[in-house]
Amino acid sequence: MPLDEFSIIQKYFSSLGESQGISLGVGDDCAILDIPKGKQLAVTVDTLVEGIHFPVRASPADIAHRSLRVNLSDIAAMGADPHWFTLALTLPEVSDSWLHQFSQALLTDALSFGCALVGGDTTAGPLSITIQVLGTVSQGKPLIRGGAQEGDSIYITGSLGEGAAALSLFDATSDLARIATKDTLNRLLQRFYRPEPRLKEGAYLRDLASAAIDISDGLIADLGHIAKSSGLGANIELDRLPIASWLLALAEPSYIEDWVLFGGDDYELCFTVPNRNKDLIESMISSRELNAVYIGKMSKIPGVRCFDSRGQAVELKKSGYQHF
Ligand SMILES: [Mg+2]
């Protein structure tokens, strides 16, 4: 007999991860959580639907990793610490092996990122996963999008373009899956299913950055959000954009540019730094404490503009990912 909802929760989701402040976890009508004094709650939610946000027949472990990590990336972008999460799982059928793999992968990430499942819901229907992460941030200290000032320096963590390149693996009209080596394929899939939430970087940036966002819709679109929210514009130098050398070897420069500027799903942080903190950020980068690069400056003129190495403006062709 298939498991009912109560048994699914008992068997797979009653004790998943560890965190502070859980007065009452899974098993009652609500979870009861203690928010430490001087902290504010940071809340984010994301739904992933099979066939839209990940390919049909993706492995349960892959789906679990991505579902939690995209949310943790939003927590990182606020300079917050994750503590708790809830899960709403819609399943076409109850499969023990699917649930086992899914919950084990979720447990691995919950433990490594320091958060715990505190509640959820299961329903029958087309496969979809909704995770809500709750974190805390010091009172009045969240890294919001609208905090940048004119002249602030713009930085990016990690490297860009791999998330969008990975997406094109799932596109039947793209020949990337055929031409890429096994090693490259694995790197791209890893990047797609296990994006690295930049929590450590977000914590460093709390007191140093003026604004931050995680890159989910593409650099131009997401930096555009910082610019607009701050009532400013941004100038970026294309030659400074961080691109992994193995990615450069993978496709024509025009594809790469498209992936880097307009492709989403990188889950790197884009952040701005006021002049007074720039030396400190640069020294953290030099000592490899912080993996980030400078890419440009905030400007008074609205919009995001790109420049080449000679300082010439470069015309952009596309705009970022639209959800609808
Ligand atoms: Mg975000």
The per-residue pLDDT for 42 is 97
Q: What is the DSSP letter of 295?
A: E
The per-residue pLDDT for 251 is 83
Ligand 1 centre to CA of 245 (Å) is 26
> Does a structural domain hold residue 320?
no
Ligand 1 centre to CA of 213 (Å) is 6
Give me the torsion for CA of 222, 225, 231, 232, rounded to 10°. 10
Ligand 1 centre to CA of 199 (Å) is 13
Ligand 1 centre to CA of 293 (Å) is 20
> Does a structural domain hold residue 261?
yes
> Does a structural domain hold residue 321?
no
Ligand 1 centre to CA of 109 (Å) is 19
Regarding whether 123 and 55 lie in a shared domain, the answer is: yes
Ligand 1 centre to CA of 104 (Å) is 26
Lay out the sheet containing 81-91: strands in order across: 39-49, 128-138, 81-91, 116-124
Ligand 1 centre to CA of 271 (Å) is 12
Ligand 1 centre to CA of 92 (Å) is 29
> Does a structural domain hold residue 323?
no
Regarding whether 164 and 120 lie in a shared domain, the answer is: no
Look at residues 94, 109, 138 and tell me which one is the last residue of a structural domain. 138
Ligand 1 centre to CA of 79 (Å) is 12
The per-residue pLDDT for 252 is 83
Ligand 1 centre to CA of 215 (Å) is 7
Regarding whether 262 and 247 lie in a shared domain, the answer is: yes
Ligand 1 centre to CA of 202 (Å) is 13
The per-residue pLDDT for 323 is 46
Q: State how many domains the chain has.
A: 2
The per-residue pLDDT for 7 is 85
The per-residue pLDDT for 324 is 47
Regarding whether 126 and 181 lie in a shared domain, the answer is: no
> Does a structural domain hold residue 196?
yes
Ligand 1 centre to CA of 40 (Å) is 18
Regarding whether 55 and 34 lie in a shared domain, the answer is: yes
Ligand 1 centre to CA of 93 (Å) is 31
> Does a structural domain hold residue 324?
no
Which residue, among 225, 158, 227, has the nearest Cα to 195 in the 3D structure? 158
Q: Using 70 as the pLDDT threshold, list the residues of the chain that sit under it.
A: 1-2, 318-324
CA 324 to chain CA centroid, nearest Å: 20
Give every CB contact of residue 270 below 8 A, 6+ residues apart in sequence: 154, 155, 156, 212, 213, 214, 215, 219, 222, 223, 226
Regarding whether 168 and 49 lie in a shared domain, the answer is: no
Ligand 1 centre to CA of 181 (Å) is 31
CATH of the domain at 31: 3.30.1330.10
Residue 54 belongs to domain spanning: 5-138
